[in-house]
Structure 1
Amino acid sequence: MEFRVGILTLSDKGSKGERVDTSAPGLRDLLTEKLGDSFRVEAYEIIPDDRLTIEAKLKSWSDELRLNLILTTGGTGVAPRDVTPDATLNVIEKQVPGMAEAMRYASLQKTPMAVISRAVAGIRGQTLIINLPGSPKGARESLEAILAALPHALEKILGDPADCAPNP
């Protein structure tokens, strides 16, 4: 199965051209390295850390572009402009807390600062939205923590009726 992906970078400086985005290319490369051609990045954008702008983009990419997966990078901490999780919670219909917990757990093995991540994961329609940190290293490590589960999760979101585990 092939999945359509969007990568949305949240950065005030990046959206003004004052900072080069290295997180999104790293995420795209990781998807290709680990999952091959089954994950195809079809949308990419850098927008400011503005809650309403983020909400509008997540809705558009989910409802109009009908992407299967949206990875956000940036704005997951506790700074005043870190509003990505808040915007995500406003647009999703269901949370997938295990993904956010797994990312925080994996990150905590590397830095005690992982405890201040507010990243969330959830579903809007048939789109899985996952918040990742803004740092290239943190974004990549967080995605690696859940990468193996992504194909199965997306198949289930799309309505795959198969059992998750075969009966003995």
Structure 2
Amino acid sequence: MTGTADPSPRALVVTVSNRAAAGVYEDTAGPVLVEGLRAAGLAVDGPQVVRDGDPVGEALRAAVAAGFDVVVTTGGTGLNPHDQTPEQTAPLLDRPVPGIAEALRAAGLAQGVPTAVLSRGLAGMAGSTLVVNVAGSPGACRDAVEVLAAVLPHAVDQRRGGDHPRS
């Protein structure tokens, strides 16, 4: 890779859950993302647990302003009326990266989870921050880590001005 010399992209994991934010139950999805992204070589903050709705947008705007390279949300992407993560994410995205969201849904299908297609998660660039929405189960987060670990180093390098590898 040919971008800047910073070897550790900075990432933030945001868990979107009314019940986890209220202390009704423990966040089990966010820690899966944190562990997996750290294993992939990212310096990861979080998980930051927020309620559905406006708090998601507030957390995303703060993360973009703080200069994180990557923000990965988990939860709030389904069909429940409270699931508003894509609606909070979309206005921030300058450039969609639909292939990431498509790959996340395909990974769930490949694991035999037909409901993976119900995730409305988005991915794209908000300024210089890559934002990715992941479904809210630990299994979806494990699948997401496999997809993201394969593409995040190149995505961050590109965001930092790196060139395409020559094969």
Do the two structures share a fold, i.e. TM-score over 0.5? yes
Report runs of 4+ in structure 1 exceeding 3 Å deviation.
none
**Conserved in 2, the CA contact under 8 Å of 1:103 and 1:143?**
no
What CA distance in whole angstroms lies between the structure 1 residues aligned with 2:140 and 2:46? 21
1:27 maps onto 2:33 in alignment: yes
- What CA RMSD, in Å, does the superposition of the two structures yield over aligned residues? 1.3
State the secondary structure of the residue aligned to 2:12: strand
What CA distance in whole angstroms lies between the structure 1 residues aligned with 2:90 and 2:22? 26
State the secondary structure of the residue aligned to 2:67: coil
Q: CA deviation at 1:143?
A: 2.6
One-letter code of the match for 2:43?
Answer: R
**Conserved in 1, the CA contact under 8 Å of 2:38 and 2:44?**
no
**Conserved in 1, the CA contact under 8 Å of 2:15 and 2:48?**
yes
> What number of residue pairs does the alignment pair up?
160
What CA distance in whole angstroms lies between the structure 2 residues aligned with 1:49 and 1:143? 22
What CA distance in whole angstroms lies between the structure 1 residues aligned with 2:47 and 2:99? 26
State the secondary structure of the residue aligned to 1:20: coil
**Conserved in 1, the CA contact under 8 Å of 2:75 and 2:137?**
yes
Which of 95, 112, 115 aligns to 1:113? It is 115
Which residue of the partner structure matches residue 18 of structure 2? 12
Aligned residues: percent identity? 34
What CA distance in whole angstroms lies between the structure 1 residues aligned with 2:159 and 2:46? 20
Which residue of the partner structure matches residue 165 of structure 2? 165
State the secondary structure of the residue aligned to 2:161: coil
Q: How does 1:123-134 map to 2 (within 5 A)?
A: 123-134=125-136
Q: CA deviation at 1:43?
A: 4.1
Which residue of the partner structure matches residue 4 of structure 2? none
What CA distance in whole angstroms lies between the structure 1 residues aligned with 2:139 and 2:109? 13
Q: How does 1:79-158 map to 2 (within 5 A)?
A: 79-109=80-110, 110-158=112-160
One-letter code of the match for 2:96?
Answer: Q
Name structure 2 gaps, 5 residues minimum.
Answer: 1-6
One-letter code of the match for 2:79?
Answer: V
Which of 55, 58, 63 aligns to 2:57? It is 55
Relative contact order, CA 8 A, sep 6+: which one is greater? Answer: 2
TM-score normalised according to structure 1 size: 0.90
Name structure 1 gaps, 5 residues minimum.
Answer: none
